[in-house]
Structure 1
Amino acid sequence: MAWKSYSLEDYRKHVLFCGTDVIQVKPSGQGPVRAVVLQTGYNTAKGDLVRSILYPRPLNFKLYNDAFKFIVFLACLGVVGFFYALGVYMYHGTSSRYTTTMALLLFTVTVPPVLPAALTTGIVYAQRRLKKKKIFCISPQRINMCGQINLVCFDKTGTLTEDGLDLWGTVPTVDNCFQEVHSFASGKALPWSPLCAAMASCHSLILLNGTIQGDPLDLKMFEGTAWIMEDCNADYGKFGMSDSNIVIKPGPKASWSPVEAIAILRQFPFSSSLQRMSVVTQVSGEDHFHVYMKGAPEMLAKFCKPETVPKDFPQKLKNYTVQGFRVIALACKDLKMEKLSELQNLAREKAESELTFLGLLIMENRLKKETKPVLKELSEARIRTVMITGDNLQTAITVAKNSEMIPRGSQVILVEANEPEDFVPASVTWQLVENQENGLGKNETYLNIGNSSVPDGARGSCYHFAMSGKSYQVIFQHFNSLLPKILVNGTIFARMSPGQKSSLVEEFQKLNYYVAMCGDGANDCGALKMAHAGISLSEQEASVASHFTSKIANIECVPQLIKEGRAALVSSFGVFKYLTMYGIIQFIGTSLLYWQLQLFGNYQYLMQDVAITLMVCLTMSSTHAYPKLAPYRPAGQLLSPPLLLSVFLNTCFTCIVQICAFLYVKQQPWYCEVYRYSKCFLDNQSNFSTNVSLERNGTGNASLIPGSILSFESTTLWPIATINCITVAFIFSKGKPFRKPIYTNYIFSFLLMSALGLTVFILFSDFQDIYRGMELIPTLTSWRVSVLVVVLIQFCVAFFVEDVILQNQKLWLWIKKEFGFSSKSQYKNWQKKLAEDSTWPPTHRTDYSGDGKNGFYINLGYEDHEQIPRAKLELGGQSTEQHFWTRL
């Protein structure tokens, strides 16, 4: 069949992507190795990355929808102004061409052309600051979305804990019983046993230029045996192999071994969905073969003969996982085959069946030093944290407790779900995890199934759900109505496959969480892509799928990204509000002047547009993020009450001040509509008269001439409007709690002070060249002082309203509570409902899908990559097999 009829996932181990370093090629003995080019250009994985950068997936972020609505509103206001201008100029009998020009001018004043770009200014500066912190972004629009993050999902290994694993010890089994622990800390060599042979051979390491290379976990395990690796050569012809195979043998520091060498003949590679790997080997001097297998203990035990698995296996496994150890199980079996050539056709299912359990390999995985402070910082900011890992559930719970992701004193409830079997419906069991004294004398986490009960007051305290990927899958399919209830308090999700991780992130998003995912491995790629903000701590596979990549491999990048996102969001809102008010301020002033067929001069517009507004737009967003995360998020939409009230009230203040000034200047004794002979002029005003476009007649009346610029109205309104533009820029540049104070933005502060100083200088200067150039008329000093006092009063009132009332978080919370406003977020509504439910959370009980409370639910679209041995499947009867294939 054609290649395109198959999924890439089916051949992932056989596909090389652009940028892959091929470190070794071995022929198969059937001719030279050949490769087929599958995709080129933008159809490759790298091309897809470039395409995703050039054409990112549209964001369903309400901010951008609100911005469009806001622009439509301003355009409607501009249309009103357009018809207003038409009416005024047509009433005075001006030409249709001039009337249309003036009407269009008023329309364009209302909607500043840079308004759509206002939402990107904060992003540009935030991206620069992130780059300096070694955080790189391929989807800049996601930065604003980071300001709304309220839930962060973390992978465990390599993210919360160290990348490297240290060998702690081995627990071998003999005659179905665990033996004494061998501690690597003792310095003694690992004694020979089948477990030692499994550790030495069950890996995917290779020898390149005399150096062993491969997976760090495999490398650490192999080094613990003190064996050495060699390429197969003529000395090992007795194996009947080509020189493409690897041979291992005891090293100088290894313990005594009856085995001269072991050849690795075939590998069944590790897969995160299968949670295991195996190899076929042959001992020097023997005719038969051996199969060695390693993997997750729970998974590997399913492939072993039940009589070889110790009866206390679950308890022994729990003893180590609750202490935070990484546990790997090993098994083996003899393979009855006569010919080496038969290995090439050996099915994995046949090799990985009826094995003998060998024991456990215990490895330490310590927390990174940055993990605990970062999780504490996020917790104080009321940002929820969740662990999604492929590791053991008990290990994950212990790591969550040690890192204080689960605070001290909180209850942990284990949710365990089982698929339907025969006539027994799917079930979900709720078990309380308690702290008990263990043999080491420390408080560790154990599961008390028989006697668990909720302590007094526990229902009102904080509780956290923990579950495995298998349980999540069953609940997703059969208890879908329970899923939201679990997710709002679910903290630990272990043994999760890559598909389940993506599904979980999507389910969180359906509850209206803004989700960030932080991981470092290929298993996290789907979840990183699905999240609102995917943060990769690796430059390998995960960085291709993630929106952000940190070159510093710890989770300190998460709060940094949220801080910058909040700063960028607030900056974008500030610039957007400023440009809106700038357009409204000019619209009001121009409309008033249009009433008398007047308008501002070109240089007056130029100073407002370039010297003030353009500089404000370029520098207003450069204020750095505040170093501490606030316990609440900034508004995520433009049509929020505080923002709308801010624009509305400032518009009212502007209308009141400009209309009063416009009317009051007409009441002054020195006011006149023709200014050639005004007593307010300086001694030498001959140059001013040449620009006057209103001519006074003998009776003291004036004939209106369209296009007038020199007037007392424009001279009064221009400084009011200009200083108003400066003050609203200052008011909307709010610092704490999401940005540093405005004075730390040196360039912006300098430009504001300079613009204010220049405007005040022009207002009070008596230089005729300046007045002639700015097309202004000198007035009495007392009137200029009055103008300045008015704008200062307007600034004080606007600043008080904005800072004390509109930005008062406690006041808005009180208003919501008093007037009964409920949140639209589903997770908040669920939290409220569950807080009022006296039967929640359930403990020490089992629910069934057919009991009528939760209903029976099967989602045929759910994908699960986890495979179960057919032998185990067949034990469940026909109904179980049918359900299994339906699920796949």
Structure 2
Amino acid sequence: MGDHFEKGQHALLNEGEENEMEIFGYRTQSCRETLCLAGSIFSFGILPLVFYWKPAWHVWANCIPCSLQEADVVLLRTTDEFQTYSRKKVMWICLSALNSAFRLNPDNPFITDEESIINRAIRKPDLKVRCIKVQKIRYVWDNLEGQFRKIGCLEDWLSSAKIHLKFGSGLTTEEQEIRRLICGPNTIDVEITPIWKLLIKEVLNPFYVFQLFSVCLWFSEDYKEYAFAIIIMSIISIALTVYDLREQSVKLHRLVEAHNNITVSIYGKNAGVQELESRFLVPGDLLILMGNKVQMPCDAILIDGSCVVNEGMLTGESIPVTKTPLPKVDGSVPWKTQSEGEYKRHVLFCGTEVIQAKGACSSPVKAVVLQTGFNTAKGDLVRSILYPKPMNFKLYRDAIRFLLCLVGTATIGMIYTLCVYVLSGETPGEVVKKALDVITIAVPPALPAALTTGIMYAQRRLKKRGIFCISPQRINVCGQLNLVCFDKTGTLTRDGLDLWGVVPCDGNGFQEVHSFTSGRTLPWGPLYAAMTSCHSLILLDGTIQGDPLDLKMFEATTWEMVVSRDDFQLKGVPGCAMVVKPCGTSSQVPVEGIEILHQFPFSSVLQRMTVIVQEMGGDQLVFMKGAPERVASFCQPETVPTSFVSELQIYTTQGFRVIGLAYKKLEMDHHISALMRDQVESDLIFLGLLILENRLKEETKSVLEELISARIRTVMITGDNLQTAITVARKSGMVSESQKVILIEANETTGSSSASISWKLLEEKKHIACRNQDSYINIREEISDNSKEGSYHFALNGKSFQVISQHFSSLLPKILMNGTIFARMSPGQKSSLVEEFQKLDYFVGMCGDGANDCGALKMAHVGVSLSEQEASVASPFTSKTPNIECVPHLIKEGRAALVTSFCMFKYMALYSMIQYVGVLLLYWETNNLSNYQFLFQDLAITTIIGVTMNLNGAYPKLVPFRPAGRLISPPLLLSVILNILLSLAMHIVGFILVQRQPWYSLGIHSACTVQNDTISKLTVSPTAPVKNGTNGVFTSFENTTIWFLGTINCIIVALVFSKGKPFRQPTYKNSALHSCPVEGLHCHYAELQFHCVPCRGGGHY
């Protein structure tokens, strides 16, 4: 299809998103449809079958191009390398069910928001909406913009003020009705596909259609035995596939079924509070959340109150997460932009569990429905399972090219066959059958399936190790990984933290370290109060739950946590605030307890959290906790010690995790929940440093050593301090003691000075600096002078990475080639870093806990989430083992699967070529193999070998090189071509030599003489100039020779191409495989020993 389109015919759907597609408009024509119908009849159903496989051809044959506005059919094409086509009909939604008030005044806006897509989608005056449904998502035609737009979610351009104003008091009944008709039900429907549908879909697979063609041809040639064998094997294969698909369908249906049957409470403008099934929810509805342990049936923006939720299904991390209400800020800035990338802190995602819901001033918790159905986070997870993204385009392209080469070879063979048999005077029917035979021989029907067999076995083995996969195509990609990125906390290091001590600060400097050993407690003061209250812990069923860091900090105070049931008179304070108070074992303190009134949860982007508290009967205070550098930046300069940097470096270089603490008194008389973060986080007083020890997991060092010895690069991407990250890299072996670390610091343009970048050799404190205008060549020379390539590592933080990306882009590849430690990275920066590595042709793996690594896990070629969940939207792979041991297992299984696929591919291709060469040689004598000879090669040898060759497991050791990643690579092609030439030479030599034997005769019975009595033991299968009535074929010495050589060659090729070390277990351990050739040789020997040649008189020798 060309790139020239009619005006308005072409557009982009989901522009800039992962599922971006091109969309083309077409209009059906009756005359074209009539011609296609006639073609379908006269082609006996072949044309519809081609249209089924090629939807683009179906559209091009039945329709003419037109603008999208006039189209009744659209053609979709993915923008990835595969450029997959799909065809969708344009549907109409009729709004005739609207009440009379809307029908009488159709010119009025149908919903309160005049700029809404819904208003722009309704065509007046007939009240209809054009829409298409693509991968479970509904898109409506925007009459103003002239394009299809996603429906089922609130518009991104809405500001927080508009969300509060337009949806804070609920929707009218009429507006709910309109939204329900246009957006569709709030359901994640995964039908249990009927068996007959699965059966038809599987049978119409090109592989099975080719099998059907082959079977029909074999029946016409009386080759019934193998035809029946293929039928039986195909039925078993189809039955197993249909069974697996049915089980997956049932499992997925059960996973989402409960989501569609939840009773919820909503508030309507003219109906008040009402209960209804969650399927009737629409974007804009005002949800009322009451009680604990509530399953979210949709994505919703929290606008009043706070919630604690478990997002394990999404992130793989089961630590409770606090959600805060979306602040009501005046202005037109979109609410996501206003939240500075942390909008998720205000969103309750579908499929997550609300553990606690606390409203302000005893009022219920309120949330505005943001997205429904398959637009939600859970819907996205289900769609990623239903429509997995295809992987490894080069492998797919190579397989197609190789198949085309085989088709070309078969075409040459067909021409040769036609010439030979036409010249020999065969009937046209026999000539056609012989020519078609060549296709079934040269293009083995099982070839496409050969590439997936290794994946199936590898997936089974991974599941036994507790590694689950929702995208099996990525298993082969695992075998190509040459760079693996790791998160630090919870991945390389333990989840649990040990509180090492506290370093108080009095403004003039730091005091001595206070340790909590032997029951020592910290004297009462703001620092002690911060440790008791600056956290996001919750009390659930009598147990304190939350972040491990918060737990360790709070446990050190020996205080206890309770839920206050008092009705606070404070403005905007939750009716059930959390209270911490000293217990019997605590030291004497001058307060009865501290009430936690409001919190701004920890943000990995902002690198801090803040709480507003009140001492019982005392002042309201603000406490901040976070990265020391960030906390210090919000403090009064005179309260931060001059030795801050050196003191911080003392602990971070030892690998400790350091947290800064600060506070101030709050003197503002406002609604606490209405206070903005920037109003609270200013003019703080620095309190000191919290020192925690984060030890390496036992498995970390050995796994990293294994990867490094296999020449697989390891990179750390963490949100922690740079010095801490460097120390962990040293201790884990990611950076060896003999290797140098170069710190890179880049600064943004400020005033008259341009962006700058500095380089500091950590050991020698050597400093190199350059400006934006300086020559990068000098920097590279300086780096190369320090050490050889690969003997040094770059370390930098997220801010420097951002500056280098923007101002020193030409230097970025050099930095990434040696960059090992990336600290203080935000979630967005982690994703960008993974993408930059991929641009350098790395196959990138990412391993993390799934919390703030979600973007990077999805961006990587192979993402592994350490989680107890079997399936997570965070990544295609999920490991139940909470350490990085899963990474080498994945790489080993990926390499084994890739090698297995290639071995099977080469074997199937060579087996077909061996038989192809033999048959063409026999065709020269107008001869052929007998049915039983074909049966022995096809069934007893090839099929059994094909099944057993895949049973080799992964080799237990990672070697320092990867298997070939392409089918059409010089080594692979050379091995295939040389084996084909060897086979050709063997067959030709055998064919000629047998004809030069002294006992050779065209009349096979003339060889049965006294002098040649040993010849009676030769295998003389039916085929040659003497007609054998029982088989309908000829017998000859050439036939036996070619068949014998072909069979032996198939066995040899199986042994040669069944690779073991270094990527798979040795072949001798695969008892099922090596027993097959032995049995095949035994059968051959028995055939030679006992098969008798019939004599002229009817007896046998």
* TM-based fold match above 0.5: yes
Report the Cα offset of residue 234 of structure 1.
3.7
Contact 1:596 1:704 in 2 (8 A): no
Contact 1:719 1:763 in 2 (8 A): no
| Residue matched to 1:570 | 899
Q: Give per-residue Cα distances to partners, 1:440-484, cap 9 Å, x unaligned.
A: xxxxxxx56699999987356711100000000000000000000
The residue identity in structure 1 corresponding to 2:382 is V
Contact 1:598 1:707 in 2 (8 A): no
Report the Cα offset of residue 498 of structure 1.
0.6
- The whole-number CA distance in structure 1 between the counterparts of 2:936 and 2:879 is 43
Contact 2:561 2:580 in 1 (8 A): yes
| Residue matched to 2:818 | 489
| Residue matched to 2:980 | 651
Contact 2:655 2:724 in 1 (8 A): yes
Q: Give per-residue Cα distances to partners, 1:96-139, cap 9 Å, x unaligned.
A: 22211111111221110111111111111111111111111111
Q: 1:4 aligns with which of 155, 178, 183?
A: 155
Report the Cα offset of residue 47 of structure 1.
2.8
Q: How many pairs align?
A: 752
- The whole-number CA distance in structure 2 between the counterparts of 1:49 and 1:104 is 46
| Residue matched to 2:962 | 633
| Residue matched to 2:878 | 549
The residue identity in structure 2 corresponding to 1:634 is P
Q: Give per-residue Cα distances to partners, 1:351-370, cap 9 Å, x unaligned.
A: 01111111111101001111
Contact 2:482 2:842 in 1 (8 A): yes
Residue 99 of structure 1 pairs with residue 431 of structure 2: yes
| Residue matched to 2:644 | 313
- The whole-number CA distance in structure 1 between the counterparts of 2:471 and 2:347 is 27
| Residue matched to 2:588 | 256
- The whole-number CA distance in structure 1 between the counterparts of 2:830 and 2:438 is 54
| Residue matched to 2:925 | 596
Residue 507 of structure 1 pairs with residue 836 of structure 2: yes
Contact 2:987 2:1045 in 1 (8 A): yes
- The whole-number CA distance in structure 2 between the counterparts of 1:149 and 1:712 is 53
Aligned to 2:1049, what secondary structure does the other structure show?
helix
Describe the shift of the 1:85–1:131 C-alpha distance in structure 2 as closer, same or farther (beyond 3 A). same
Aligned to 1:167, what secondary structure does the other structure show?
strand
- The whole-number CA distance in structure 1 between the counterparts of 2:698 and 2:1100 is 68
Describe the shift of the 1:593–1:242 C-alpha distance in structure 2 as closer, same or farther (beyond 3 A). closer
Q: How does 1:19-30 map to 2 (within 5 A)?
A: 19-29=351-361
Report the Cα offset of residue 673 of structure 1.
2.3
The residue identity in structure 2 corresponding to 1:554 is N
The residue identity in structure 1 corresponding to 2:623 is Y
The residue identity in structure 2 corresponding to 1:16 is L
Residue 71 of structure 1 pairs with residue 403 of structure 2: yes
Contact 2:952 2:1064 in 1 (8 A): yes
Describe the shift of the 1:704–1:214 C-alpha distance in structure 2 as closer, same or farther (beyond 3 A). closer
The farther-off stretch of 3-12 and 198-207 is: 3-12
Q: How does 1:829-868 map to 2 (within 5 A)?
A: none
Contact 2:869 2:878 in 1 (8 A): no
Describe the shift of the 1:709–1:410 C-alpha distance in structure 2 as closer, same or farther (beyond 3 A). same
Name the structure, 1 or 2, with higher relative contact order (CA <8 Å, separation 6+): 1
Report the Cα offset of residue 674 of structure 1.
3.2
More strand by share: 2
Q: Give per-residue Cα distances to partners, 1:338-388, cap 9 Å, x unaligned.
A: 3xx521221111001111111111101001111111111111111111101
The residue identity in structure 2 corresponding to 1:333 is K
Residue 380 of structure 1 pairs with residue 709 of structure 2: yes
- The whole-number CA distance in structure 1 between the counterparts of 2:1023 and 2:507 is 111
Residue 289 of structure 1 pairs with residue 620 of structure 2: yes
| Residue matched to 2:202 | none
Residue 755 of structure 1 pairs with residue 1080 of structure 2: yes
Aligned to 1:117, what secondary structure does the other structure show?
helix
Q: 1:558 aligns with which of 887, 895, 898?
A: 887
Q: 1:245 aligns with which of 577, 581, 586?
A: 577
Q: Give per-residue Cα distances to partners, 1:187-243, cap 9 Å, x unaligned.
A: 302221201111111111122232222222212211111111111134977999553
- The whole-number CA distance in structure 1 between the counterparts of 2:1099 and 2:905 is 35
Contact 1:597 1:704 in 2 (8 A): no
| Residue matched to 1:132 | 464
Contact 1:387 1:492 in 2 (8 A): yes
| Residue matched to 1:711 | 1036
| Residue matched to 2:690 | 361
| Residue matched to 1:850 | none
Residue 342 of structure 1 pairs with residue 671 of structure 2: yes
| Residue matched to 2:286 | none
**Runs of 4+ deviating beyond 6 Å:** 235-240, 450-457, 680-685, 688-693, 703-707, 777-780
Report the Cα offset of residue 172 of structure 1.
1.0
Q: 1:727 aligns with which of 1052, 1067, 1073?
A: 1052
| Residue matched to 1:412 | 741
| Residue matched to 1:478 | 807
Report the Cα offset of residue 704 of structure 1.
15
Report the Cα offset of residue 244 of structure 1.
1.4
Residue 401 of structure 1 pairs with residue 730 of structure 2: yes
Describe the shift of the 1:247–1:30 C-alpha distance in structure 2 as closer, same or farther (beyond 3 A). closer
Contact 1:118 1:572 in 2 (8 A): yes
| Residue matched to 1:736 | 1061
- The whole-number CA distance in structure 1 between the counterparts of 2:1069 and 2:428 is 52
TM-score by length of 1: 0.80
| Residue matched to 1:45 | 377
Describe the shift of the 1:662–1:757 C-alpha distance in structure 2 as closer, same or farther (beyond 3 A). same
| Residue matched to 2:516 | 184
| Residue matched to 1:520 | 849
Report the Cα offset of residue 18 of structure 1.
4.0
Report the Cα offset of residue 622 of structure 1.
1.3
Describe the shift of the 1:511–1:309 C-alpha distance in structure 2 as closer, same or farther (beyond 3 A). same
Q: Which runs of 5 or more structure 1 residues have no equivalent in the other structure? A: 436-446, 697-702, 781-888
| Residue matched to 2:864 | 535
Describe the shift of the 1:209–1:237 C-alpha distance in structure 2 as closer, same or farther (beyond 3 A). farther
Contact 2:380 2:873 in 1 (8 A): no
Report the Cα offset of residue 16 of structure 1.
3.1
Report the Cα offset of residue 67 of structure 1.
1.3
| Residue matched to 1:161 | 493
- The whole-number CA distance in structure 1 between the counterparts of 2:1034 and 2:681 is 91
The residue identity in structure 1 corresponding to 2:694 is N
- The whole-number CA distance in structure 2 between the counterparts of 1:20 and 1:472 is 34
Report the Cα offset of residue 754 of structure 1.
1.7
| Residue matched to 1:434 | 763
Residue 219 of structure 1 pairs with residue 219 of structure 2: no
The residue identity in structure 2 corresponding to 1:138 is I
Report the Cα offset of residue 637 of structure 1.
0.8
Aligned to 2:444, what secondary structure does the other structure show?
coil
The farther-off stretch of 518-527 and 577-586 is: 518-527
Contact 1:121 1:617 in 2 (8 A): no
- The whole-number CA distance in structure 1 between the counterparts of 2:411 and 2:523 is 88
TM-score by length of 2: 0.65
Report the Cα offset of residue 695 of structure 1.
4.8
Describe the shift of the 1:106–1:238 C-alpha distance in structure 2 as closer, same or farther (beyond 3 A). closer
Report the Cα offset of residue 270 of structure 1.
1.2
Report the Cα offset of residue 767 of structure 1.
5.4
The residue identity in structure 2 corresponding to 1:216 is P
Report the Cα offset of residue 10 of structure 1.
5.7
| Residue matched to 2:477 | 145
Contact 1:66 1:637 in 2 (8 A): yes
Q: 2:389 aligns with which of 57, 65, 70?
A: 57
Describe the shift of the 1:619–1:692 C-alpha distance in structure 2 as closer, same or farther (beyond 3 A). closer
The residue identity in structure 2 corresponding to 1:537 is L
Residue 175 of structure 1 pairs with residue 500 of structure 2: no
The residue identity in structure 2 corresponding to 1:302 is S
- The whole-number CA distance in structure 1 between the counterparts of 2:455 and 2:768 is 55
The residue identity in structure 2 corresponding to 1:614 is T
| Residue matched to 1:121 | 453
Report the Cα offset of residue 173 of structure 1.
0.8
Describe the shift of the 1:778–1:758 C-alpha distance in structure 2 as closer, same or farther (beyond 3 A). farther
